[in-house]
Amino acid sequence: MKVALIFYSFSGNTQRVFEYLKEVLLSRGCSLGFLRLKPENEPKSFFKQGFSAFTKEKPKLKGEVFYDLKDFDYIILGTPLWAFTFSPALRSYLEKVKNLKNKRVSFLFTYGSGAGLSKAIRELKSILEEKSAQIKSFASLEGKKVKERSYLEEKLKDFLRL
């Protein structure tokens, strides 16, 4: 099975989660596409990050970014929860991504307070449904707990049922 792991991480919490997913999926023999989204002009403060999320900015992404997902069987997206929504980097990516039709997609949020999580989930689901993706599952993970392997194992078991 070919799995795309696509995420944005500012503080490193979401990246920790995706490193864990990468380790587990590789140990199961999956072929992976691993993409950390990085804006070209990334704000350096949490306040500016939150404001850019709130205003639904779509920054230009830098580096090698694959937008065509036709060769993947399963896609997992990840982002921090900011200002009741998801990161601008993921918003930019979703605007340009191709071939999500009938693809199994799961997504996850990492968060500090979790305020606005249900709104953010609805918004991301709506975008994925517009692209005719088949939403398989979603999870939300408390940022301060993602260093605990047992926490990741419990919270991500649905993602790992391929």
What pLDDT score does 71 carry?
96
Instruction: Domain 2-155: give its CATH code.
Output: 3.40.50.360
- Per-residue pLDDT tens over the stretch 70-105: 999 999 999 999 888 899 999 999 999 999 999 999
What pLDDT score does 46 carry?
74
- Per-residue pLDDT tens over the stretch 108-151: 999 998 888 999 999 999 999 999 999 999 999 999 999 999 99
Angle made by CA atoms 128, 133, 139, in degrees to the nearest 5: 65
With a CB cutoff of 8 Å and minimum separation 6, the contacts of 37 are 6, 7, 8, 61, 65, 87, 89, 90, 92, 93
What is the three-state SS of the chain?
Answer: CEEEEEEECCCCHHHHHHHHHHHHHHHCCCEEEEEEECECCCCCCHHHHHHHHHCCCCCCECCCCCCECCCCCEEEEEEEEECCEECHHHHHHHHHCECCCCCEEEEEEEECCCCCHHHHHHHHHHHHHHCCCEEEEEEEEEHHHCCCHHHHHHHCCCCCCC
- pTM listed for this prediction: 0.92
- Per-residue pLDDT tens over the stretch 14-45: 999 999 999 999 999 999 999 999 999 887 87
What pLDDT score does 13 carry?
96
Q: Per-domain residue ranges for the chain?
A: 2-155
* Distance, CA of 138 to CA of 47 (rounded, Å): 26
What pLDDT score does 162 carry?
65
Average pLDDT value over all residues in the chain: 92
Give the pair of three-digit tokens for residue 83: 């200002």
